[in-house]
Structure 1
Amino acid sequence: MSVSCNDDEETAGEPYFIIEENPTGLSVDINGITQSYVVRSNQSWEVVAQSEGEWVKAFPSKGDDDGIFKFIVEENNTFDARVMNFAFLVNGKEQPALFRVEQEANVPFITVQNAEEGISVASAGGNFQINLSTNVEWTYQITNGDWIQDIETTETSIKLSAEKNKGTERSATLTVSSANHPTLSKSVTITQLDGSIVLEEHFDWLTYGSTIFYTTSGEKRMDSWTQDEMDRGWTSTPNTSSSNQQVVYARTGFVKLGKTGYGGDLVSPKFLILDEETDVKVTFKAVPYQTKGGTQDDNTLNVGVIGPGTTSVDAFTISNWPDYDADPDCTAIWEDASATYTFTITGATAETQLQLLGGDFALVGVGKGKNRIFLDDIKVEIID
């Protein structure tokens, strides 16, 4: 669009008003747009809407000389196409050509955020929110969700609260629908994580030494672990009979308790997710130490707790001895059912820690003087 203030050919110094590329209109889809235009002028100018409407505006709507203005078109959530004409005033005089902004009509829709992947809620429960976008009146309902309570509903969100889950993983379905548009219903699955697991550890973050039990080179004693490894929460009682060393050794994906003459214990992180006295089941895998030549250590594993709780047993005899001919890399033995041991703790709380000790701390002159035990896959879970 270009305007000259007389019919003579434009010359330097004469009044002029030009919008670069001479646009006459703008067609916009339902999503809206912000479109910029460059004005070339040596006059004051103004962009004026010719009818009422908040869905499109010019900004800035006035200027002097050269400048830039924008048409800002909002998203169309209505089911009607819409049109707005704008006039250009130059030095207060309306120009003959109008600028036409047209926007497509929308269609009824309901969009629920994360509808395909679903919503995951922590086992500890708490508040969560489902966001949605729609241009119709809507309601929602929850199926299989007696553990979910409504907090607040707004035009664009549903705020909910989940109870703490003390059992296995559970799911509910939330469906948003419109009575006037029944084909638009959208559903999202709400899944609350397993709340029965208090602690689960596979030690796959340890990568020291060998998987072969009798190969001790490269293993790393706990008091030499990195800070990141210690931040996992596992610890060991300093053995006063062995210069206060923590006599637990990291291997590749498992740990070893003890060394010749001295035992070591493994102490778990606290059971922090428990909010009351709770009975739990402890499952772990263990293998006793045997040399390459077949000499066997003592094989007692004492179990107990630090803090509240009573264990159902005080000790296990770990008797699933390695067969180095059949399993030279010492990997198959972990999968054998004989490697798995279980007991319960009654009355555990958030202050409870699991303690597993190979024999005793001082082993010189006791039995064979060695009580090394390998441990892996420790799991603590709530029981009814």
Structure 2
Amino acid sequence: MKSLIHYFLGGLLYVVAACSFAACDDEETYPDNPYLHLENEQTTFEAGASKTEYTVTVRSNCPWQVVCRTEGTDWVRAFPDEGDKDGHFNLIVSANSGFQARQAEFALVVGEQEYPILLCVNQAASVPTITVGDGSGTVRVPSAGGPVTVTSQANVEWTCSVDAAAQDWLRFDSISAQGLICLTLAQNNGLERTGILHCTSDAEPSANVDISVVQASGSILLQEDFSWLNYGTAITYDTDGQVRIDSWTADELAHGWTSTPNSASKDEPLVYGCLGFVKLGKTNYAGDLVSPKLKVDGTVNVKVTFKACGYVSQGGTRDDNELYVSVIGPGTVKADNPFIIDNYPNSSKNEYGEGYDVWSPDIAERSFTIEGVTDETQIRFMAGVSFDLHGVGQGKNRIFLDDITVAILE
């Protein structure tokens, strides 16, 4: 096929070249044996709904252009749209937010002649979707009740309603412009309970989902899964989208988590919001995470359970992995400080394979106890022995945290 196209186009270009030369010395001239072909012969590109791009390599001894032959097309473009002899261009495809598939065709043009086959870009339609929290279908909330916010993402118009069976303790208030679902819960003094939150779209019912809102039993003082954080990606070494705590929204800060300004690093609080979890510290400096004050009557002993993993770079270099726990206010920590966080995520080398889950409880979950807790007690997690890590180990001790639970010991 390539040979036929080669010679077919070569003959056409030869005629164009001869005519052009005879007509006017100022017009484009071509070699005696002009040719143009695509290096890998791919002429059809099947794109998903997400933005993407394809590189097309041209082999030619002539100037050429890329021309869109589909009218009204602004969602895909060629860049650059012309070249001289051997070269390449990209077909840049924007995300498809609509629910209809779409197609565009491009021609490669030399003089007045086209490459015999059009380049065709087919893009799939977007799927109507409502995603709440981490997408698991379950949101866990503490027994204390009060206002609760949960992150969401959707590409449809939608709203929420509470199933009738839970309306005496669970209330839907609103959905913010940023996608935060605002709920209000009554305090739970008994066993764990579950209410169903119906998330529905009248226009696109295929997107409808039911979310289980699970409220902890009365013995749970704090239960935090950070599902309301929606920064960056699940890839831990991809730090570009992670956001420092002092740039969180007012709704996010209202959850009560804080961080101590690091005097060695411009008084910056070095906790970063990620996609449903947090990161402590940055290169050469430690960061801490401080819980809100615990809601408790009198003085109690508690068990703290949390998940953690260490930091590994895209290329596979591991940070140090010491996590220190302490309290601010009343209480005595019973733990072997520091915790050694020896479970690391995959780097780009995929060391542990496709099915590996760094957050699996058997490798990520750890616990300690605190005696003498009151309503003035706060729990502090710190990634590193001191705020300034210059000269301490590798100088890097970033730790990721998730799923922190504080329960009263009977």
TM (norm. structure 2) is 0.47
2:319 match = 297
2:304 aligns with one of 282, 292, 301: 282
For 2:168 and 2:248, locate their aligned partners in 1 and report how far apart those are by CA, in whole Å. Answer: 34
Alignment pair present for 1:266 and 2:292: no
For 2:361 and 2:218, locate their aligned partners in 1 and report how far apart those are by CA, in whole Å. Answer: 27
2:374 match = 349
Alignment pair present for 1:381 and 2:407: yes
| Residues 225 and 403 in structure 2, CA contact (< 8 A), matched pair in contact too | yes
Residues 256-297 of structure 1, C-alpha deviations (whole Å, 9 max, x = no match): 00000100000001002x111101000000001111222111
| Residues 321 and 342 in structure 2, CA contact (< 8 A), matched pair in contact too | yes
Q: Residue 164 of structure 1: CA displacement?
A: 8.8
For 1:258 and 1:330, locate their aligned partners in 2 and report how far apart those are by CA, in whole Å. Answer: 28
Alignment pair present for 1:335 and 2:360: yes
Secondary structure of 2:252's aligned partner? helix
| Residues 258 and 290 in structure 2, CA contact (< 8 A), matched pair in contact too | yes
| Residues 334 and 368 in structure 2, CA contact (< 8 A), matched pair in contact too | yes
Pairing 1:207-218 to 2, within 5 Å after superposition: 207-218=230-241
Residues 88-135 of structure 1, C-alpha deviations (whole Å, 9 max, x = no match): xxxxxxxxxxxxxxxxxxxxxxxxxxxx9489679xxxxxxxxxxxxx
Alignment pair present for 1:319 and 2:342: yes
Q: Residue 312 of structure 1: CA displacement?
A: 0.8
For 1:207 and 1:117, locate their aligned partners in 2 and report how far apart those are by CA, in whole Å. Answer: 30
Pairing 1:172-183 to 2, within 5 Å after superposition: none
TM (norm. structure 1) is 0.50
Letter in 2 for 1:204: S
Letter in 1 for 2:246: D
2:184 match = none
- The structure with the larger Rg is 1
What is the alpha-carbon root mean square deviation over aligned residues?
Answer: 2.8
1:308/1:361 CA distance change after superposition, 3 Å:
same
For 1:195 and 1:349, locate their aligned partners in 2 and report how far apart those are by CA, in whole Å. Answer: 16
Q: Residue 208 of structure 1: CA displacement?
A: 0.6
| Residues 211 and 331 in structure 1, CA contact (< 8 A), matched pair in contact too | no
| Residues 383 and 397 in structure 2, CA contact (< 8 A), matched pair in contact too | yes
1:195 aligns with one of 201, 213, 218: 218
Secondary structure of 1:333's aligned partner? coil
Alignment pair present for 1:368 and 2:394: yes
| Residues 278 and 349 in structure 1, CA contact (< 8 A), matched pair in contact too | yes
Secondary structure of 1:345's aligned partner? strand
For 1:262 and 1:276, locate their aligned partners in 2 and report how far apart those are by CA, in whole Å. Answer: 37
Letter in 1 for 2:323: L
Unaligned runs of 5+ in 1: 1-115, 123-162, 171-191
Letter in 1 for 2:301: D
For 1:251 and 1:289, locate their aligned partners in 2 and report how far apart those are by CA, in whole Å. Answer: 13
Letter in 1 for 2:401: L
1:306 aligns with one of 320, 328, 347: 328
2:158 match = none
Q: Residue 381 of structure 1: CA displacement?
A: 0.6
| Residues 280 and 382 in structure 2, CA contact (< 8 A), matched pair in contact too | yes
Letter in 2 for 1:335: S
The count of residues paired between Structure 1 and Structure 2 equals 208
1:250 match = 273
1:55 match = none
Secondary structure of 2:259's aligned partner? coil
1:238 match = 261
Q: Residue 322 of structure 1: CA displacement?
A: 2.1
| Residues 280 and 381 in structure 1, CA contact (< 8 A), matched pair in contact too | yes
Letter in 1 for 2:380: Q
Structure with the largest fraction of helix: 2
For 1:118 and 1:271, locate their aligned partners in 2 and report how far apart those are by CA, in whole Å. Answer: 26
For 2:231 and 2:380, locate their aligned partners in 1 and report how far apart those are by CA, in whole Å. Answer: 23
Pairing 1:77-96 to 2, within 5 Å after superposition: none
1:229 match = 252
| Residues 210 and 217 in structure 1, CA contact (< 8 A), matched pair in contact too | no
Q: Residue 315 of structure 1: CA displacement?
A: 2.0
| Residues 212 and 330 in structure 1, CA contact (< 8 A), matched pair in contact too | no
Q: Residue 367 of structure 1: CA displacement?
A: 0.9
Letter in 2 for 1:220: V
Pairing 1:68-107 to 2, within 5 Å after superposition: none
Q: Residue 330 of structure 1: CA displacement?
A: 9.7
For 1:169 and 1:252, locate their aligned partners in 2 and report how far apart those are by CA, in whole Å. Answer: 26
Q: Which of structure 1's runs of 4+ aligned residues deviate more than 6 A?
A: 327-331
For 2:242 and 2:291, locate their aligned partners in 1 and report how far apart those are by CA, in whole Å. Answer: 20
| Residues 270 and 287 in structure 2, CA contact (< 8 A), matched pair in contact too | yes
Residues 25-57 of structure 1, C-alpha deviations (whole Å, 9 max, x = no match): xxxxxxxxxxxxxxxxxxxxxxxxxxxxxxxxx
Letter in 1 for 2:364: A
1:315/1:193 CA distance change after superposition, 3 Å:
closer
For 1:164 and 1:224, locate their aligned partners in 2 and report how far apart those are by CA, in whole Å. Answer: 32
1:193/1:212 CA distance change after superposition, 3 Å:
closer
